[in-house]
């Protein structure tokens, strides 16, 4: 059907409710809006769904959620997973509880037990819950850090990680095969509960989750020693982190935890935020104000589904709060865990640290210093979670820590996705250790730079929305792939890694070999002077992202080098 035919189908078919039809009637004279809502199906990608909430095939609504759930249900049935069931969690966004119920009732109508959290929960707790309950799959209703008009639907498998190959493509195939909305099953909620197909979960999972987190603490005695002195400011950015973060810090003995009152409670409008993203300095406006009032040592912000953590730490020399990138905070935790596990004799045999190809190159000298194997995977924490599964299956290594540049990390294997709650806990332990030593987290960061090198990374993104945006993004990737640059400014290209075509080319010799990683539309340029650049279309937003990294001789030198590389990347796109 054409987009106009699809619009008329939604407008006239009895399957769609009157509220949906009223919303569509309000745009009946807006041809551009009709086309944007109906020119395609909201794509069910390798991570699930994500889009603007509203009526239409290219929007997040109860009908697109049901359709996706029917496809997933069909896949679960083919895998004979009905009895194992599915766990479902949701965040603080508009329609999140409703979408969670729609997914659960579609599963129930297909004979699949659904375990639904009683109220909003962090994404990593869903990963923990489905493994604890022995489920075959899991769903989180969240759009992470996207603006308030968005929502999403992420799918997990029984190992606790988001779906990876080949299951991602197989599930996508099942979702795409559901072409008739009338074929999508659902049922009454009370009837599903009476049949034991809709089950409410909550406190029992929360308690077990907290106990698993505490196992990652290395020096509880240090926390107790400085508990009266250390001051922590925290904001959940109106999302899911408030309850679990406050609980874990309280149970560990931290006494001075100040939560930003304007952002403490769930708010789907994110009223106090332009963008609920801990990568955005403006998201810390209220938290930094409170930190200065309280003279806090550390300032923390978790994103709405509490899988990513941003931090500021006090620089006692300047009296200012210094921002940390995800690489910086991840490296602090990694250095602390590897150092203290080595010192206390608690490092497992064959330890491994897992990171992504666009994360800082500082991971190399840190892992070498402690005899830990470094494994690089494609962008996306699901590939880090997948490595934990491989370790368990083969016994080859023991997972110690994993991180990605986008403010996500995981200590422990209780979850198979990035976990901001455990990251808060770990960073607060590191901050306590620093406090005991008479320094701050920022002092320790400078020591880490001095020890391993002044690595600095940045990102440059081009947003291209709408129907033509994807074509423009594809054209940029084609140009870089078919005519790769020989240099970026003063930095020569040493090798080109083309993950789409599974080949690495050494420019000096022309030698080719395989990447060793799954197929993905990613181009990576290894540059001289320990620098690099990577091009990758976003899987969740209408963007193409360029990741860059350098190594300097000082903070100022690294800053100058990364700025020069950014300008060189922009010049290569002209």
Nearest to 236 by CA among 274, 209, 281, 266: 266
Choosing from 144, 329, 520, 531, the catalytic residue is 144
Order the strands of the 231-235 sheet from edge to edge.
256-259, 231-235, 298-302, 309-315, 320-324
Rounded-to-integer distance, Cα 59 and Cα 393, Å: 39
Q: What are 319-323's contacts with CB under 8 Å, separation 24+?
A: 321/288, 321/291, 321/292, 322/442, 323/281, 323/284
Nearest to 53 by CA among 241, 272, 269, 266: 269
Strand partners, 35: none
Whole-Å CA distances, 93 to 304, 326, 339, 366, 381: 8, 24, 40, 39, 22
The pair phi, psi for residue 311, each rounded to 5°, is: -140, 155
Q: What is the largest CA-CA distance in the chain?
A: 70
B/e letters for 147-172, b = 16+ CB within 10 Å, e = fewer, are ebbbbbbbbbbbbbbbbbeebbeebb
Using DSSP's 3-state secondary structure scheme, residue 178 falls into coil
406 is catalytic: no
Strand partners, 150: 52
What is the C-alpha end-to-end distance of the chain, expressed in Å? 38
Say which residue the tokens 């924490």 belong to.
381
Which pair of tokens denotes residue 558?
């690294």
> What is the dihedral angle through the alpha carbons of 282, 285, 291, 293, rounded to the nearest 10 degrees?
160
Strand partners, 256: 231
- Report whether 207 contacts 244 (CB < 8 A): no
User: What count of other Cβ atoms lies within 10 Å of the Cβ of residue 13?
Assistant: 11
The pair phi, psi for residue 202, each rounded to 5°, is: -175, -100
Nearest to 69 by CA among 100, 91, 93: 100
Q: Can you give 195-248 as a three-state secondary structure string?
A: CCCEEEECHHHHHHHHHHHHCCCCCHHHHHHHCCCCEEEEECCCCCCHHHHHHH
User: How many residues are present in the chain?
Assistant: 574
Rounded-to-integer distance, Cα 124 and Cα 419, Å: 5
Rg (CA), the chain: 24
Which pair of tokens denotes residue 263?
């952002």
Instruction: Give the catalytic positions in this structure.
Output: 144
């Amino acid at each position: 059907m054409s987009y106009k035919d699809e619009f008329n189908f939604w407008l006239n078919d009895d399957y769609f409710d009157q509220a949906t039809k009223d919303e569509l009637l309000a745009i009946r004279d807006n041809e551009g809006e009709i086309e944007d809502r109906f020119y395609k199906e909201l794509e069910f990608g390798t991570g699930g769904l994500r889009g603007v909430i509203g009526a239409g095939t290219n929007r997040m609504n109860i009908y697109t959620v049901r359709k996706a759930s029917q496809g997933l249900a069909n896949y679960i049935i083919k895998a004979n997973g009905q009895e194992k069931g599915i766990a479902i969690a949701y965040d603080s966004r508009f329609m999140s509880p409703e979408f969670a119920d729609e997914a659960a009732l579609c599963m129930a109508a297909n004979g699949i037990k659904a375990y639904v959290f009683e109220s909003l929960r962090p994404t990593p707790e869903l990963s923990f819950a489905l493994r604890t309950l022995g489920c075959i799959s899991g769903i989180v209703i969240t759009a992470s850090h996207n603006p308030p008009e968005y929502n999403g639907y992420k799918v997990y498998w029984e190992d606790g990680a988001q779906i990876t190959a080949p299951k991602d493509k197989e599930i996508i195939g099942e979702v795409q095969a559901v072409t008739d909305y009338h074929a999508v099953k659902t049922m009454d909620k009370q009837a599903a509960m009476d049949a034991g197909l809709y089950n409410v979960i909550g406190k029992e999972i929360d308690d077990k989750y907290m106990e698993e987190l505490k196992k990652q603490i290395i020096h509880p005695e240090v926390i107790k020693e400085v508990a009266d002195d250390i001051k922590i400011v925290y904001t959940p950015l109106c999302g899911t982190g408030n309850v679990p973060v406050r609980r874990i810090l309280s149970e560990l003995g931290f006494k001075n935890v100040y939560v930003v009152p304007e952002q403490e409670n769930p708010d789907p409008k994110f009223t106090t935020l332009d963008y609920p993203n801990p990568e955005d300095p403006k998201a810390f406006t209220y938290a930094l104000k409170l930190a200065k009032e309280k003279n806090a040592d550390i300032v923390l912000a978790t994103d709405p589904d509490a899988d990513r953590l941003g931090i500021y730490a006090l620089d006692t020399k300047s009296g200012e709060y210094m921002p940390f990138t995800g690489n910086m905070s991840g490296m602090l935790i990694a250095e602390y865990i590897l150092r203290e596990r080595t010192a206390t004799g608690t490092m497992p045999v064959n330890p491994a640290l897992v990171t992504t190809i666009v994360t800082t190159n500082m991971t190399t000298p840190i892992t070498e210093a402690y005899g830990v194997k470094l494994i690089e995977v494609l962008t996306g924490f699901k590939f880090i979670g997948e490595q934990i599964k491989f370790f368990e299956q083969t016994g080859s290594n023991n997972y110690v820590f994993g991180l990605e540049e986008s403010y996500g990390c995981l200590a422990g294997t209780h979850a198979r996705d990035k976990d901001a709650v455990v990251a808060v806990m770990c960073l607060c332990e590191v901050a306590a250790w620093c406090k005991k030593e008479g320094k701050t987290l920022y002092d320790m960061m400078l020591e880490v730079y001095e020890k391993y090198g002044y690595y600095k990374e940045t990102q440059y993104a081009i947003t291209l929305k709408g129907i033509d945006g994807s074509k423009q993004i594809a054209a940029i990737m084609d140009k870089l792939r078919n005519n790769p640059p020989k240099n970026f400014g003063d930095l020569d290209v040493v090798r080109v890694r083309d993950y789409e075509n599974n080949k690495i080319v050494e420019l000096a010799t022309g030698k080719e070999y395989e990447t060793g990683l799954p197929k993905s539309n990613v181009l990576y340029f290894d540059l001289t002077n320990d620098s690099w650049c990577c091009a990758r279309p976003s899987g969740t937003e209408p963007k193409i992202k360029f990741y860059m990294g350098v190594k300097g001789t000082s903070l100022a030198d690294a800053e100058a080098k990364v700025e020069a590389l950014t300008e060189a990347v922009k010049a290569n796109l002209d």
